[in-house]
Structure 1
Amino acid sequence: MNRYKTRAELKADVKNLLQGNWGKAILLYLIPAISIIFNININGSNSSGAVRNSIYYGNWNFLPSFLSLGLVSFIISLIFLLISLSATFRGLDWVEDSELDFEPLKSNFTYFRSPDWWKLIFIYILIYIFTILWSILLFIPGIIKSMAYSQTYFVYKDLNDRGLADNYSLTDYITRSRQLMVGNKGRYFVLQLSFIGWWLVGAITLGIGYIWILPYYKLTMANFYQDLISTNNKNNIE
């Protein structure tokens, strides 16, 4: 039987990683954190969906932004999406190799230099559409599916790093995420709930606290994926 790390163990790993490395972690997630602070203070935090997307990706949900605010907002949101995912992917690298030497700020722009940057955008669009369609049925199915799709980007990065990404369609990454999350959505949900207190701290500090909270959260999510893959055998995502 697979033995996954507990919530406490996942967080302890990240705390150990951050010990003596907070400066690097803050710089890695500084731009995504600033985008969250800006959006919270400008737009408020009344929309749970907006806050969720801001926390997950470091930007607001860009599709509604495009519809309501126009092309400029759409382009800016795409830029922040790529910045946040670039930081997220470097965070996974760091979790996998605690001695990894990298330039944190420069890492925010990794996927601007990738010829496959457009795949990240279309994956986002597909996840958004699928989640909305499930949410139209009922709110709960939408939440369940969003958790099922939560590992999609990490799956893409894993396969891309191994030179296998070209063998898969964009929906295949979503399918692999769903397969990985079978039996793990409950663990993921509880892990998300464990950060509610931190999000409240961030809100009380007008978002300033996210400068420290976001690295802790994002690296914990990366560690969740790493534990998922390690426990199930990495070859299972092929």
Structure 2
Amino acid sequence: MKNYRTRKELKKEVKKLLNKDLGKALMLYLVIIFLGILSMFSGKIEAKSLLIANYDPFAVYHGYARLLSISGIAGLIFLSLFLSVLFRSLDWLRNNELEFSPFKSNFTYYRNPDWWKLIVIRVIVAIFTFLWMLLLIIPGYIKIFSYSQTFLIYKDVQEKGYGDKYKFTDYITKSRQLMDGNKWRFFVLQLSYIGWYFLGYITFGIALIWVIPYVCMTNVNFYKDLVEQNPDII
């Protein structure tokens, strides 16, 4: 029987890490925080796009692309920055004493020759989700949850040296397997952030300095827990 950690336990672990070294977290999320605050008052982005995209924590870059009035291609390139931060967050959660350069970590995948693979995977996920949305809205959102762990799986597979054995769609398949029976837990976790999002709004974005790292890292911690309880999938 799998013993998943509760929402409270996942959040407590992240809060403990943030309280221990908030400065490092702020430097790691500096660019994302800046864009999040800027977008909140630009009037050009819906709140759900800037606040970690309630239903898809890895789709927030779409909102930033619209904010900056740049093309969809440039928005996809921004994905490398956002995922670089999430990947480093996963490393940090796995090793709280990890030494790293937080600001430089924003640009890790811009220096990685395989950065383009992240874009290809994102496009495939978007196509699959769009096709499901054509059927019905609810199945489409269910698939968004199913695919939500795709990029973190990519990170782990690459670091284990199994990347050559995987097709792009295999990462999506593994995400579906991880999320089997866990989609509702993930959905409720996203709902639990609503109060924090509201706090960010009423404080004119000031609270987002803490809220954005907290929400992103808690979502990453959810993945970490999934993998620990399902080591056979990855």
What TM-score do you get using the length of structure 2 for normalisation?
0.90
Q: Match for residue 84 of structure 1?
A: 82
In 1, distance between residues paired with 2:49 and 2:134? Answer: 14
In 2, distance between residues paired with 1:38 and 1:97? Answer: 32
What TM-score do you get using the length of structure 1 for normalisation?
0.89
In 2, distance between residues paired with 1:115 and 1:95? Answer: 25
Q: Match for residue 35 of structure 1?
A: 35
For the 8 Å contact 1:32–1:84, the answer to whether it is kept is yes
Greater alpha carbon shift after TM alignment, 46-55 vs 125-134: 46-55
Q: Per-residue displacement from partner, 1:56-98 (whole Å, max 9, x unpaired)?
A: 35422589x5xxx5xx433542342111110000000001111
* Structure 2 letter corresponding to 1:197: G
In 1, distance between residues paired with 2:189 and 2:118? Answer: 25
In structure 2, runs of 5+ residues without a counterpart are none
Are 1:2 and 2:6 an aligned pair?
no
Q: Match for residue 200 of structure 2?
A: 202
* Structure 1 letter corresponding to 2:233: N
Structure richer in helix, relative to its length? 1
* Structure 1 letter corresponding to 2:119: I
For the 8 Å contact 2:39–2:50, the answer to whether it is kept is no
Written as runs of structure 1 = structure 2, the 5 A alignment for 1:4-23 is: 4-23=4-23
In 1, distance between residues paired with 2:205 and 2:137? Answer: 27
Residue 14 (structure 1) shift: 0.7
Residue 50 (structure 1) shift: 6.7
In 2, distance between residues paired with 1:42 and 1:222? Answer: 28
In structure 1, runs of 5+ residues without a counterpart are none
The percentage of counterpart residues that share the same residue type is 49
Q: Per-residue displacement from partner, 1:31-67 (whole Å, max 9, x unpaired)?
A: 112122223322444474575289635422589x5xx
Which ranges of 4 or more aligned residues in structure 1 deviate by more than 6 Å? none
> CA RMSD of the aligned region, Å?
2.1
Q: Match for residue 233 of structure 2?
A: 236
Residue 210 (structure 1) shift: 1.7
In 1, distance between residues paired with 2:14 and 2:120? Answer: 30
Aligned length: 230
Greater alpha carbon shift after TM alignment, 40-49 vs 217-226: 40-49
In 1, distance between residues paired with 2:64 and 2:19? Answer: 34
In 1, distance between residues paired with 2:7 and 2:118? Answer: 28
Q: Match for residue 56 of structure 1?
A: 58
For the 8 Å contact 2:57–2:219, the answer to whether it is kept is no
Residue 190 (structure 1) shift: 0.7
* Structure 1 letter corresponding to 2:41: N
Written as runs of structure 1 = structure 2, the 5 A alignment for 1:142-161 is: 142-161=140-159
* Structure 1 residues 49 and 102, CA gap change in structure 2 (3 angstroms): closer
